[in-house]
Amino acid sequence: MRRIVRWGLFGRTFLLLTALMVASLAAWLQAFRNMEIEPRAHQMAQQIVTAVNITRAALVYSAPIRRRFLLLDLATNEGIQIYPRDPADRSEPLPDTTLMQWVSAQIMHQLGPQTQIKWAVNDMPGLWVSFSIEGDNYWAVLERARTERHDGVQWLGWGLAALLLSLLGAAMIVGFVNRPLSRLARAAQALSRGEPPTPLPEESGPDEIRSVNASFNRMVSELDRAEADRALMLAGISHDLRTPLARIRLEIEMSPMSDEARNGIDSDLAQIDHTIGQFLEYARPASNAKGATDVSELALTVAEREQTVTVARGGLLSMAIAPGLQARINSADLQRALVNLIENARKYGQSPGKPLEILVRAFARGNEICIDVCDRGPGIADEERERLIRPFVRGAGARTDASGAGLGLAIVRRLLLPSGGSLELIRRTNGGLCARITLPAYNGK
């Protein structure tokens, strides 16, 4: 059932139309069968009654010496045999079908209620009809072919042909309706991945589809223009803010003030510059991946570089990276994500009185590649794990940094989304936190 539910619009619509057509054809055939039973039964009964009456009249009015030849002629040419009827005869009733019941009722109505109609007598098949001549009882045995329907296969063939043609027409109609929707879905998926979608046709198709395509193309143009305006605005903000910051630093260096005051102001300016950088980093879109990235090599390079910085700050960074891991993600985006996580672990991953320990590991898990950046810090509460990944959110406990903008983890998730990746915060068994990046493994397509 779950597999059927995941069918596309074409499969669902075609399946629905097929079910409706099959049900309609079955209902039509059943109605046709019911409507033709009465006239067909009347016709069959009339033929049988006529054959019995003619046979009885021929036997009554023929000379006794000629009856033997008459019976032979009836059996040979007309398929009618005459047998004397005995009370000890073993008989088989007619099949319990609507048609045969109608035929039996019609025969008894015309020949009399005392007439017997049997399907076999003394194990001899046939349509046995009783009649009497001057007090003597006889059986008239007709071939069963008189009551058999020969057009069932023909009607079934015509019905299947009509159903096949209807299904072909339904497939064409559903394809005609589904094609522009599939094109729109592919364009929307490309847009969600940050790729420029192919413009949708606005000059062909129904009016509703053309209107939707025109609206989608207009939306894409507006998004492109908004992205360009945002990039220009961010560049202007960066220039307009960082230029005065540089001038203030220069004036502080030249002003006669104490080293303590100068260092405090310089620290505040550095924090402002860092916050501006985080805003720009979050607003910068992720790049589109054109091919596979060697995750093992990239993670090893980043970890070795960050290991030097960690050791210089009195900490330890260890690595456990499996070789040969590949994923479809832009290498610059993955590097930015890893650096952010390692910096976050250096900043918040140290418990009081304990040395800083960071572990970077990468491994394959089914069709996914996992990259963990783990620390031995105080960790976070379970209810904060999902909330901390949102932008502009900072933790309320030991991992809170009042000077930060709350964008570090949000930047990482934003970098992973175009490649189908995700970020998860996991509590370590013996204390600490693991920030896990999960990426779809590259399958060569």
Pick the closest to residue 107 from 35, 50, 33 (CA basis): 50
- Look at residue 7 in the predicted model and tell me its pLDDT: 58
Q: Report the topology of domain 293-440.
A: Heat Shock Protein 90 (3.30.565)
Q: Which amino acid is at 406?
A: G
Supply the pLDDT for residue 400: 43
pLDDT of residue 161: 78
- In the predicted model, residues of the chain with pLDDT beneath 50 are 1-6, 150, 397-402
Domain ranges of the chain: 2-146, 207-283, 293-440
Res 258: pLDDT: 74
What's the pLDDT at 303?
Answer: 92
pLDDT of residue 36: 66
Decide if 350 contacts 356 (C-beta within 8 A): yes
Q: Which long-range contacts (CB under 8 A, 24 or more apart) does 316-321 make?
A: 316/355, 316/356, 316/357, 316/358, 317/342, 317/358, 317/359, 317/360, 318/357, 318/358, 318/359, 318/360, 319/359, 319/360, 319/361, 320/359, 320/360, 320/361, 320/362, 320/363, 321/296, 321/360, 321/361, 321/362
Give tens-digit pLDDT for 275-324. Answer: 776 666 666 665 565 678 899 999 999 999 999 888 988 899 999 999 99
The pTM score is: 0.48
pLDDT recorded at residue 340: 87
What pLDDT is stored for residue 360 in this prediction?
A: 94
pLDDT the model gives residue 272:
74
2-146 CATH choice from 1.10.760.10, 3.30.450.300, 3.30.9.10, 3.40.50.1370: 3.30.450.300
Residue 152: exposure state from Cβ atoms within 10 A (0-12, 13-18, ≥19): exposed
- Residue 281: what pLDDT? 65
Whether the Cβ atoms of residue 299 and residue 362 lie closer than 8 Å to each other: yes
Determine whether domain 207-283 maps to CATH 3.40.50.720.
no
Start-to-end C-alpha separation, the chain: 29
Q: What pLDDT sits at residue 444?
A: 65
**Is there a common fold for 2-146 and 207-283?**
no
